[in-house]
Amino acid sequence: MIKIFKTFGGYVEITQPQKNCWINTTNPSQEEIRKLKDEFGLPADLINDILDHDERPRIEFEEEWTLIILRIPVETKNNGVPFYTIPLGIFITEEFSLTLCLQDNLVLPINQPSPFRDQYKEISDSFNFILRLFLRSGNLYLKYLKQINQMTSTIEQDLEKSIKNKELNKLLKMEKCLVYFITSIKANEIVLAKLRSSKKITSEINEDLLEDAIIENKQALEMAQIYSDIQSGMMDAFASVISNNLNVVMKQLTLISIILMIPTLIASIFGMNVPNYMEHSIWAMPAIIAGSLILSVSGVLLFRKRQWF
**Residue 127: C-alpha distances to residues 18, 121, 154, 196 (Å):** 19, 15, 41, 11
Residue 120 has pLDDT above 60, yes or no: no
Lowest mean pLDDT among 44-53, 136-145, 153-162: 153-162
Across the chain, mean pLDDT equals 80
Candidate from 22-26, 38-42, 122-126, 200-204 with smallest mean pLDDT:
122-126
DSSP classification of residue 57: P
100 pLDDT higher than 60: yes
Give 94 or 200, the one with higher predicted confidence. Answer: 94
- Burial-class residue 274 by CB neighbours within 10 Å (0-12, 13-18, 19+): exposed
- Mean pLDDT, residues 33-48 taken together: 84
Domain ranges of the chain: 2-243, 247-305
Q: In the predicted model, is pLDDT for residue 114 greater than 60?
A: no
* Low-confidence winner among 38-42, 136-140, 271-275 (lowest mean pLDDT): 271-275
Q: What gap in Å lies between CA 249 and CA 244, rounded to an integer?
A: 9
pLDDT score for 288: 76
Among 32-46, 169-183, 262-276, where is mean pLDDT lowest? Answer: 262-276
Q: Which CATH architecture has domain 2-243?
A: 2-Layer Sandwich (3.30)
What pLDDT digit, counting tens, does each position of 42-63 carry? 888 888 888 888 889 888 888 7
Q: Which of 92-101, 112-121, 123-132, 174-183 has the lowest mean pLDDT?
A: 112-121
Q: How far is CA 198 from the centre of its chain?
A: 32
Dihedral sign, CA of 198, 202, 208, 210?
A: negative
